[in-house]
Structure 1
Amino acid sequence: MKKLNLVLMVILGISQISQAQEDKYLWLEEVDGKVALEFVETQNKATIEELGAEKDFQDIYDKSLAIYNSTERIAYPSILGNYVYNFWRDKDHVRGVWRRSLLKDYTNGNPVWETLLDIDALSEADDIKWVYKGSSGLYPDYNRFLVRLSKGGGDAVVTKEFDVNSKQFLEYGFKVDESKGSSSYVDENTLIITTDFGKGTLTTSGYPRQVKLWKRGTPLKDAQQIFEGDTTNVQVFGYVLRDGSKAYTMVRQSIDFYTGKTFVWRNNKAIALDIPEDASTNGILNNQLILKLKSDWTVNTKTYKTGTLISLNFTELLKGNKDIQVIIEPDEFSSISRVSTTKNKLLIDLLSNVTSQLYIYSFNNGTWSNEKVKAPDFGTISIVSTNDLSDKYFFNFQNFITPSTLYSADASNNTFKAYQSLPAFFDASKYEIKQYKAKSKDGTMIPYFMVAAKDIKNDGTNPTLVFAYGGFEVSSRPFYGATFGVSWLDKGGVFVLANIRGGGEFGPKWHQDGVKEKRQNVFDDLYAVSEDLITKKVTAPKHLGVMGGSNGGLLVGVAFTQRPDLYNAIVCQVPLLDMKRYNKLLAGASWMGEYGNPDLPEEWEYIKKYSPYQNLKEGMNYPEVYFGTSTRDDRVHPGHARKMVAKMNDMGYKTYYYENTEGGHAGSSTNEQSAKSDALTFSYLLMKLK
């Protein structure tokens, strides 16, 4: 057996060397390599020169920047203790300010903002392009926070302890060097922390695999290790779950992207919870552990179906007993989008036919009861913030032509009122929303939304943009895109949002029907929507484009290599494209639960059929693709887009390419960068599709 393993290792090693020799563009994977950056600069310059000269470029830039910098934007709240916290960017605060207002002032509609941390000033003082990545506070007074800062917008962050009363970082407070880890307060003097603790402490995905308890005033190297995962795990992280005054120190061992084991740290031991490895926990309320099932679970001869939200008596679960209550079992056209808790209530955002409904659930006398919140219909509801200390909360409503409105609400009496709405950045009265379904290759009906002028003529000439994602159980929901309105709809465009498989619109099965060997379903769904638009004579291939980012970037990369006949414009943002090497680049190994392992011959067999980088061919009638990425994207490697462009250019295909020097996976770190990206993208689309 040892000899066999050795032979396999040698074969694998030879295979990897052979692969490296075959790929002559590997040098573009050196993120900050001199020659690679020269390539980027050359591509950027050509793209900016050409698209910057388009007649709509400056208008799109100016209007987009005005929207991003508008003082009428909603200052979304995060309720912590007696304060509301908010992060805000505008023309005077390019990198933004972290600020707070008393909750009572904010709720009354008259927030008095107190700046806690000016990221522009901090960046200048440190000579580092800091990007604010959030913070977590010390319960219940929230006088101290762990502030996360990224250098240029990547996922890796530096964490420093901040005193909100003195508005200063604590000189001798907790400080964690740059890492993709996490940290939370257990109490005033203890953190539960995962980080890069040194050699051998990261997984093959680049995330921490050790969890420690770190006491204030002690060296990090002396922190107590409470859990260690395997190097092949995606990651291991620690966190704290609160149920009123009670707090539980938890550990999650992510075996792959969708499965893992959950532990509670008690009596100096990590105790595994006897729950399905693919279930997701959604908090604890009134001693009920809230659990969403991703597969059928049979307990004591009773089967709880995939997609069901259940609760378990937590103290009994720790004793080995399963006292289970069903909260909600969605039907085939519904899914649970989000679950949140207030002090006494459970809030459930239910997606039904891809539009939101909001429910309040109460647990009394061992059973759950519910009330529907009579919120606006036919759009997207998002829980913005809840309060650990009361049943007050905020939610947001929007759809394609209805500006976002923030509502203040009280779950104790099921009341709500409009707090603030965005201004109408474009005249929505000219447009209407329709929802259609297209039949995919295997007969599955795929819903999609279409936003178009009320007087649209179905003559096949309308410039039409399809936006899709199709992965990781992420639902694509209606949104108010002000920049889409001024940059696309107002310039004669039709916008389509496709709810293809791989997402979570209709629950876990909708996602599972698009993973690994079933991935082609996702692509076929996109083609079905595209062909339906052509059949309806909304558009024609000459006027049809598609846009996607990250996993959606892979989607559109496959679209133009498999079906170049369908599209005349492709916007491919922060994409995965080289699916032979994706698991070796940055966080790529963490996604093998979604795509499969290309190093296993049986899994590469289905991946290789669609991998865009490997399926490029000479002599094809590909559209002139626009690729966008970021040098500082430390999630999806910029090498994917770089290599694709170099390979296509060498084959004689024209491409457009823009790589922002910062921005991380989001692509932009400032409003100006976002406006520039919009101007380049929509100028390209208008040039190609009108």
Structure 2
Amino acid sequence: MGVTDPYLWLEDITGEDALDWVRSRNEPTLAELCGERFEQMQTEALEVLDTDARIPYVRRRGDWLYNYWRDAENPRGLWRRTTLDSYRTDAPDWERVIDLDALASAEDENWVWAGARVIEPDHSLALVTLSRGGSDAAVVREFDMRTKQFVVDGFRVPEAKTQISWEDENAVLIGTDWGDDSLTESGYPRLVKRWRRGTPLDDAETLFSGSRTDVLVAATRDHTPGFERTFLNRAVDFFNDEVYEIRDGELIRIDAPTDATVSAHRNWLLIELRTDWYTGSDTYRAGSLIAADYDEFLAGTADLQVVFEADDHTSLNHYAWTKDKLVIVTLADVVSRVETVTPGSWAIEPVPGIPDNSNAVIVDTDDLGDEIFLDFSGFTTPSRLLHGPVEGPLELIKSAPSFFDADSIAVAQHFATSKDGTAIPYFVVGQQDKGPGPTLLSGYGGFEVSRTPGYDGVTGRLWLARGGTYVLANIRGGGEYGPGWHTQAMREGRHLVAEDFAAVAADLVHSGITTVEQLGAQGGSNGGLLMGIMLTQYPELFGALVCSVPLLDMRRFHLLLAGASWVAEYGDPDDPDDWEFISKYSPYQNISADRSYPPLLMTTSTRDDRVHPGHARKMTAALEAAGHEVRYYENIEGGHAGAADNKQTAFRSALIFEFLHRTLHS
């Protein structure tokens, strides 16, 4: 554990020597890959990303529907609004609220939109968040929704990983970087304060102090008329939270399991379980959604009701409230099902009209009324937006265009058998009956993130339309089959993620869909860690790998940027018992000069302040020192997404697919 790291200097994100090293790797990669086909694919990708025909998704704020929009004329974007009547037309009349391109030009800043918190219930003020280059750290400014101007001498917060929400029109609840030990080891706020209008930020009143070892603390205000409450959330690790109501200056603990997700709506409390819950008299299964009367639960007298119970094939994906209905989206073998639930009786009714092998997403609901916006899409079905009262009927009001010819493309779900005998589902999308061919396998496998079917016009144009096959693997570590699908693969179970992915790769070859030489794989962030493991432990299964914004040095991940917040997922490398299992798969520590590795494209972003670019830099340097060839590209902007605008996204996509076409078609 005390081995010297010869490439530690590459962790100096903006150091001159480190950036010189980055440029020296970027240049040959771009020289090799940026040819005629790359240029054509970049153009095609940008057409998809910038088209005016895509659906402008909205969120209701009072009488207005708000949308954030980027296109060729507005690469940084517009925050704009319209009415429902106008939105339902083919050419809505949009009113500009914030022109981010004009703002960035006027202030000579590389602003990237990072959202806005609008005060409820009158929607007169907003806390607008602006990021430099796409980083997680951002500035916050108060904005008047009536005048469409930033408020002079209003609430303004310097660049930090700030947590902020409205308490009322004259006070906000805030956690930010005050210096002097105000952050957790993960780099997020550990203090929650009340900041009153017209007072200095440094004079804000402390409401709660968390621990340095927490992930973060944050407070929010529920402004629902008649049910106004202030909540405090203390994330003790990535998966465990203590939730309190702040009432008359006192903290009242909502005594649900810390690893459950707790939320309140009007007089109801919802508890989404990640593990089995033993209450003394009853046992509630992991993955279930439990409801209780809010006040009765705090008093310890609540009658708990099971709203949804998971089984071996069905899991809860997400949910949202209208005023009087709960809308839930579940996954049955990774395919969406949408239902409405009536609180009190908890009777469930299906929402009809969702096609097979599709992904349904609740875009927005009106928690003071009955309105819902619901989107669905599939691998070959562009997005469709439904709207109407939650009890129906829902009307199709927007349809996204097709960006590639899907008539000859089939979608099928298969199951591979992992090393321990577990059936691992995966979707295959490609030309029918064409025999083995170039295939791209995608996976993530972490943090209970579910990968579901969905339309991707860029992948369709740049890969499927050019004869490629796309495969989505629903490996353990994700949430496709509920929290147990994830918890199996945490910490010492991490090897299951790699074994599942390797099983899918082998099954693709065995079933004749592709060959080893024609099989590529791609993953980013935690999925980038997966690619690093495939490179160092399963290189014989692949013809090419794309590793994006990755974690790779698992000996130091917890010391870099937000890495400490992921110790609950991976383990603590400073603990000898944890390092024993982490060291077996950590890609940076398992490079071999004696094994043949498939061609590798490594991509990252200098501005990524979540996963440190040092992971990708050091891994590339170590691979080169061991005699392996790596194509490396680091975007100077982009944050953890890897790109700050549509043009950068199109560039990155074209670069990746050019690499895959060259390596897998040869």
TM-score range, shorter chain: over 0.9
Partner of 1:301: 281
Superposition CA RMSD, Å: 1.2
Partner of 1:150: 131
Partner of 1:533: 508
- Cα separation, 2, equivalents of 1:652 and 1:667: 27
Partner of 1:675: 650
Q: Does the CA-based 8 Å contact 1:27-1:36 persist in structure 2?
A: yes
- Cα separation, 2, equivalents of 1:342 and 1:517: 41
Partner of 1:250: 231
Displacement of 1:178 after TM fit? 1.0
Displacement of 1:112 after TM fit? 1.5
- Cα separation, 1, equivalents of 2:296 and 2:199: 36
403, 406, 409: which one pairs with 1:431?
Answer: 409
Q: SS of 2:610's equivalent? A: coil
What are the equivalent positions in structure 2 for 1:261-272 lying under 5 Å apart? 261-272=242-253
- Cα separation, 2, equivalents of 1:516 and 1:534: 30
- Cα separation, 2, equivalents of 1:384 and 1:33: 42
Q: Does the CA-based 8 Å contact 1:545-1:570 persist in structure 2?
A: yes
380, 394, 401: which one pairs with 1:401?
Answer: 380
What are the equivalent positions in structure 2 for 1:511-660 lying under 5 Å apart? 511-660=486-635
336, 339, 343: which one pairs with 1:359?
Answer: 339
Displacement of 1:316 after TM fit? 1.6
Residues 1:417 and 2:399 aligned together? no
Partner of 1:102: 83
Structure 1 stretches of 4+ with a deviation exceeding 6 A read none
450, 468, 491: which one pairs with 2:443?
Answer: 468
376, 386, 392: which one pairs with 2:365?
Answer: 386
- Cα separation, 1, equivalents of 2:142 and 2:91: 29
Partner of 2:484: 509
- Cα separation, 2, equivalents of 1:448 and 1:159: 42
Displacement of 1:569 after TM fit? 0.7
Q: SS of 2:49's equivalent? A: helix
What are the equivalent positions in structure 2 for 1:272-351 lying under 5 Å apart? 272-281=253-262, 283-351=263-331
Displacement of 1:619 after TM fit? 2.4
Partner of 1:369: 347
- Cα separation, 2, equivalents of 1:477 and 1:527: 19
Q: Does the CA-based 8 Å contact 2:379-2:429 persist in structure 1?
A: yes
- Cα separation, 2, equivalents of 1:567 and 1:509: 29
Q: Does the CA-based 8 Å contact 1:285-1:341 persist in structure 2?
A: yes
1:412-466: per-residue Cα shift (whole Å, max 9, x none)?
x322111111111100111010000000000000000000102322xx4x00110
Q: How many residues align?
A: 664
Q: Does the CA-based 8 Å contact 1:244-1:388 persist in structure 2?
A: no
Partner of 1:11: none
Residues 1:454 and 2:432 aligned together? yes
- Cα separation, 1, equivalents of 2:131 and 2:608: 11
Residues 1:485 and 2:479 aligned together? no
- Cα separation, 1, equivalents of 2:622 and 2:543: 20
Partner of 1:31: 13
> Mind listing any 5+ residue stretches in structure 2 that lack a counterpart?
none
1:592-622: per-residue Cα shift (whole Å, max 9, x none)?
1100000000000000000000000112210
Partner of 2:23: 41
- Cα separation, 2, equivalents of 1:646 and 1:502: 29
Partner of 2:659: 684
Give percent identity, aligned residues only: 44
Q: Which residue identity is paired with 1:481?
A: D
Partner of 1:5: none
- Cα separation, 2, equivalents of 1:243 and 1:361: 20
Partner of 2:184: 203
Q: Closer, same or farther in 2 for the Cα pair 1:244/1:427, shift >3 Å?
A: farther
- Cα separation, 1, equivalents of 2:323 and 2:171: 24
- Cα separation, 1, equivalents of 2:539 and 2:304: 51
Displacement of 1:242 after TM fit? 4.8
- Cα separation, 2, equivalents of 1:126 and 1:581: 37
Displacement of 1:107 after TM fit? 4.0
1:86-140: per-residue Cα shift (whole Å, max 9, x none)?
1101111011111111234224565311111111111111111000000010111
Displacement of 1:186 after TM fit? 1.4
- Cα separation, 2, equivalents of 1:89 and 1:628: 24
TM-score, normalised via structure 1 length: 0.95
Displacement of 1:342 after TM fit? 1.1
- Cα separation, 1, equivalents of 2:501 and 2:526: 14
Q: SS of 2:134's equivalent? A: coil
Q: SS of 2:237's equivalent? A: coil
1:261-311: per-residue Cα shift (whole Å, max 9, x none)?
101100111111111000002x32341111101111122411111111011
Q: Does the CA-based 8 Å contact 2:448-2:479 persist in structure 1?
A: yes
- Cα separation, 2, equivalents of 1:286 and 1:171: 35
Q: Does the CA-based 8 Å contact 1:81-1:389 persist in structure 2?
A: no
